[in-house]
A and B are shown apart, each in its own frame.
Chain A
């Protein structure tokens, strides 16, 4: 698993375009919003939690349809399945690499996006934690989705339809945590609920993805 994870990181470093595309998408959505809803700081701060959570989830979704697609096209997936690694282990390494190469850069870009949406400074830390948890859950769900849609024609269309409904609780509690923090309430319960969802997805999503990889 670790060699696969390291190879993914190395490939992402050689081809940073995917990572940059996700971060750009995230920051650009945050930059465009004030033009749409008007520059009033109160209004922006009001919509900021929802916009941040939605933009981050959609940005993390961008590189997912190539997650296994590229491996299947060049024959690497066959080699991985025959390498003695369990399919669930392959999926777990892929999900971890997706989070490090997509989720983590989004967390780093969160202060910039939050500032563009004039989110109160006090809520910045919560926003980063909420998006870190949320993107980790999405990486796991997305890996299962990518494995299931592998080999389907137009898998890229099917994937968001499959993954986003499952990500709605993440969206609700992630945005609620940021909202609570920006209005001076405790964000902890919401973050704990997000962490609970992560704890659930952590073992289940790789198992589901692994089963889908074998069935292909």
Chain B
């Protein structure tokens, strides 16, 4: 039997003097998608931050191909894309410049990534004048830069209109077809067919 690529074992997280979640275990394989659901404050965002290595886990472990993923946090960071609540955009830089910075770190083509999210016409506008939905799409455009096996998405569709959510479908499909994995926290339906659900 082939070992699953990513395996979380009894992860627990302690934050602000309280236990956010406890005994979270799951395993995902290339091409899988996992939806994290649960009420506000259930710890979806914290779990994503723990999985990204941004927040230390109180206990438990994350195995990547059988090896401890948190042993080398920089290397772990480089093989995933994290989309948090904030869009991580610099208002003074144009949409293309914002993305070009990440393209230099991750590789990938800026114009193709803007095209994929329907932002090509806005490339030269400063991020400051974009609407919140356009900013979210610009943050999502980072996913279309260079390959990374694991995507951690924290409510990716917040602020997006229905057409923009549909635009994510080919992005997700191509990523999963290439053996990529998606873990997304969401309250809204996402175009991720055959995704499993983990309720926190």
Residues in chain A within 8 A of chain B (CB atoms): 3-4, 7, 10-11, 14-15, 73-76, 78-79, 81-87, 214
Contact = CB atoms under 8 A, between A and B. Distances in A.
Interface string B30-44: 000000000000000
Contacts, number: 65
A214 B73 contact: yes
A94 to B, nearest CB: 14
A46 to B, nearest CB: 44
B78 to A, nearest CB: 3
Contacts of A7: 90, 93, 101
Given A10-B93, A74-B87, A78-B88, A84 B101 contact: no
A8 to B, nearest CB: 10
A83 to B, nearest CB: 4
A15 B126 CA distance: 13
B54 A78 contact: yes
Given A82-B52, A84-B78, 17 more contacts: A7-B93, A10-B97, A11-B93, A14-B93, A15-B92, A74-B86, A75-B84, A75-B85, A78-B49, A79-B142, A81-B73, A82-B78, A82-B80, A82-B82, A83-B78, A84-B75, A84-B105
B63 to A, nearest CB: 19
B131 interface: no
Main secondary structure, interface of A, reads helix
B77 interface: yes
* Category for how many chain B residues contact A: 20 to 34
A86 B54 CA distance: 13
Contacts of A73: 86
Nearest to B78: A84
Nearest to A75: B86
B92 A78 contact: no
A86 B88 contact: no
A11 B54 contact: no
Contacts of A15: 92
Given A14-B93, A74-B90, A75-B87, A85 B74 contact: yes
B104 interface: yes
Contacts of B102: 79, 83
Contact of B88 (A14, A76, A84): A76
A78 B101 CA distance: 14
Contacts of B104: 3
B82 A76 contact: no
Interface in B89-104: 89-90, 92-93, 97, 101-102, 104
B87 A84 contact: no
Contacts of B92: 11, 14-15
14 contacts: A3-B105, A10-B93, A11-B93, A74-B88, A74-B90, A78-B54, A78-B88, A79-B88, A79-B102, A79-B142, A81-B54, A82-B80, A83-B106, A84-B105
Interface string B61-89: 00000000000011101101110111111
B90 A76 contact: yes
A84 B77 contact: yes
B92 to A, nearest CB: 4
Contacts of A78: 49, 52, 54, 82, 84, 86, 88
A75 B88 contact: yes
Nearest to A73: B86
B88 to A, nearest CB: 4
Nearest to A72: B86
